[in-house]
Amino acid sequence: MVARDRLEQLRGKFGSAIQRVDLPGDSRLFVFVEPSVVKNICQYIFRDLDARYVISIGIDDRPFSGNFMVAHNFAFDEDHLLCSVLTYLPSNNPKIDSISDVVPAANWAEREMRDLVGIEPVGHRYLKRLVLPDGWPEGEHPLRKDFSWDHVPKEFNDEREFTFDEPPEGCTVVPFGPFHPTLDEPAHFRLYVEGEMVRGCEYRGFMAHRGIEKMAESVLGYNDIPMLAERICGICGCVHSVAYVQAVESAVALKPPPRAEYIRTIMLEIERLHSHLLWVGLACHIVGFDTLFMQSFRIREPIMWIAEKISGNRKTYALCVIGGVRWDITPVLKSELRQVLDKLEAEWREVVAAVSKDKNIQKRTVGVGLTNRDLVKNAGLVGPVARAAGVDIDCRRDHPYAAYDRVEFDVITAGGGDVWSRLLVRMSEVFESIRIIRQCLERMDDGPLQSPVDGELPVGRMGLSSVEAPRGESHHFVITGENNRPRRWRVRAPTYQNLQAVPMMIKDQQIADMTISLGSIDPCFSCTDRLETIDLRSGATRVWSQRELLELARAKEVRR
């Protein structure tokens, strides 16, 4: 077994520092170690064994073990293995050595762990707040178990503005966001510009952290959460729903019926189709090619219609339950879906031919927003961003789930590491999605849609699930719990990792290329409830709080 081989490597290196091992199968490995060796073992896994960093998780386990926990998750892609390195920390001193200097991709995750759980990553070089606003009081950590899901600290100052770093000498600050004509959601990049060149930037996001994980462990049940998971992302709803239920199924050793796995695969690829068609259209819009933008949206619309016919909704499908799916694909829908795919394939070939030969698009995208293999490794980049830099990773093949082990497809890569290469990868992946759906329709046999779940799910089990979203790997970590809900659920979307590389992608490039460079990772940001207004007569600015916006909205309703 590959998992046992990796475990023996770790035991040979760290011996008695490994306290406990859970090996639920050949694709999952949970290694509990002493806190003192966590940094060394993560460095060994990441550098010497060349595993890919996935995410770090802080856990308040005090009601159950009396301790805090930290989990660092890695992927051995060629071995089809997901590995979690875990350690317990004392309740009165939750500190652990930061791994961010040896695993740079852990930067944000450790800062989030400090913000939300109060676990201190000792030695982290930049412990500025990531998720919590500057007006949030010290010592209040929302993901601790003794912090109620609906509690607002009295000391919270929702009018305090973000504190930004000082710009480098000789640079002018140019704000990009939080509201911008080419961004559908808020994101604030504080660009440091010298002439027309970007020399650096600071990112501030998480302006309206929605507390989805807190709600899941506080007030929702196992089969309520898939509906919530679908609303994590405006595009990748089915991705998060599937990733969540698979994490729970992995934890409790529950396997869905084959027909349910095929239906999950079909719906995931339908979602990939409409996402890639959307992105290519928006990319063309950003560089001024609105004709192709309109064509992409026209071609995309029948995919949205067939999704609605299958599930009752164009976007949020309400597909998954623990152990299976709700909706079936009837023979009539099979026939119609095949027709939609045939037409889409023919029309998309014309789009690809037009884009591939367009010199203006190439001038705006070739050599822009550059990444390379080292950046992919150190920042933990995923999806088309990684594959466009020549890194051959794809969770559908590397960590098979649903019915992906029963279909054939190619993993599309390119070598340029620029916006143009990301465009080529996404355009070609459309054809692979069509190929996958056709195979599923052909090979899907009749059978039940759900496996029976008898009684309460086992408590204290851990599950990992990685699903290849259109933007890249979405990873879900679950610890099963009491009251028919998880003890801990951690979601890591692909943008979480890819966004961390944007400052490197735009450094020493023209400010005019900022929009398409950012757009090329297909970013997904949370919605916001803060905004700044400018009085055009006086030039005065004002930041409005959530409370003030609600009062304005209600006053307007009263006037009506």
Beta bridge partners of 86: 32, 71
pLDDT at 558: 47
pLDDT at 176: 87
The pLDDT > 70 percentage for the chain reads: 92
pLDDT at 542: 55
Per-residue pLDDT at 557 exceeds 50: no
- The span from the CA of 532 to the CA of 177, in Å, is 11
The pLDDT > 90 percentage for the chain reads: 80
pLDDT tens column, 401-454: 999 999 999 999 999 999 999 999 999 999 999 999 999 999 999 999 999 998
- The span from the CA of 173 to the CA of 209, in Å, is 26
pLDDT at 532: 36
- The span from the CA of 381 to the CA of 417, in Å, is 12
pLDDT at 405: 97
Q: Which residue has the higher pLDDT, 554 or 49?
A: 49
Scan for tokens 């759906």, then name that residue: 437
Confidence category of residue 530, pLDDT binned at 50, 70, 90: very low
Rounded to 10 deg, the angle between the 237-252 and 258-286 helix axes is: 150
pLDDT at 252: 96
- The span from the CA of 409 to the CA of 86, in Å, is 35
- The span from the CA of 223 to the CA of 276, in Å, is 29
Beta bridge partners of 533: 542
Confidence category of residue 538, pLDDT binned at 50, 70, 90: low
**What is the pLDDT averaged over residues 45-51?**
98
- DSSP character string of 263-331: HHHHHHHHHHHHHHHHHHHHHHHHTT-HHHHHHHHHHHHHHHHHHHHHHSSSS----EETTEES----H
Length of the chain in residues, anyone? 560
Q: Which of 104, 52, 186 is nearest to 523 (CA)?
A: 186
Give whole-number Cα distances, 513 to 167, 196, 492, 502, 520, in Å: 20, 10, 28, 12, 11
Whether the CB-CB separation of 70 and 87 falls below 8 Å is answered with yes
Phi, psi of 202 (to 5 degrees): -125, 135
- The span from the CA of 407 to the CA of 251, in Å, is 25
Scanning 357-418, the segments in alpha helix (DSSP H) are 359-365, 373-379, 383-387, 395-398
Cα 135 from chain centroid?
Answer: 26
Q: What is the 3-state secondary structure (H, E, C) of 152-194?
A: CCCCCCCCCCCCCCCCCCCCEEEEECCCCCCCCCCCEEEEEEE
Confidence category of residue 552, pLDDT binned at 50, 70, 90: low
Q: Which of 347, 266, 348, 277 is nearest to 307 (CA)?
A: 266
- The span from the CA of 531 to the CA of 222, in Å, is 35
pLDDT tens column, 92-119: 999 999 999 999 999 999 999 999 999 9
**What is the pLDDT averaged over residues 76-81?**
98
Query: Which domains, from first to last, does the chain contain?
Result: 2-164 (3.30.460.80), 212-519 (1.10.645.10), 531-560 (no CATH)
Give whole-number Cα distances, 77 to 51, 82, 361, 405, in Å: 7, 8, 34, 15
| Least trusted range by pLDDT, from 31-45, 55-69, 130-144 | 130-144
Q: Which amino acid is it at 341?
A: L
Q: Which residue has the higher pLDDT, 551 or 230?
A: 230
Q: Which of 558, 543, 526 is nearest to 130 (CA)?
A: 526
Phi, psi of 25 (to 5 degrees): 180, -175
- The span from the CA of 544 to the CA of 495, in Å, is 27
pLDDT tens column, 225-270: 999 999 888 788 899 999 999 999 999 999 999 999 999 999 999 9
Q: Which amino acid is it at 81?
A: L
pLDDT tens column, 308-321: 999 999 989 999 99
Scan for tokens 């679908």, then name that residue: 230
pLDDT at 49: 97
- The span from the CA of 439 to the CA of 412, in Å, is 18
Per-residue pLDDT at 178 exceeds 90: no
Confidence category of residue 531, pLDDT binned at 50, 70, 90: very low
- DSSP character string of 520-533: TT---------EEE
Q: Is 322 left (phi over 0), alpha (psi -120 to 50) or beta?
A: beta
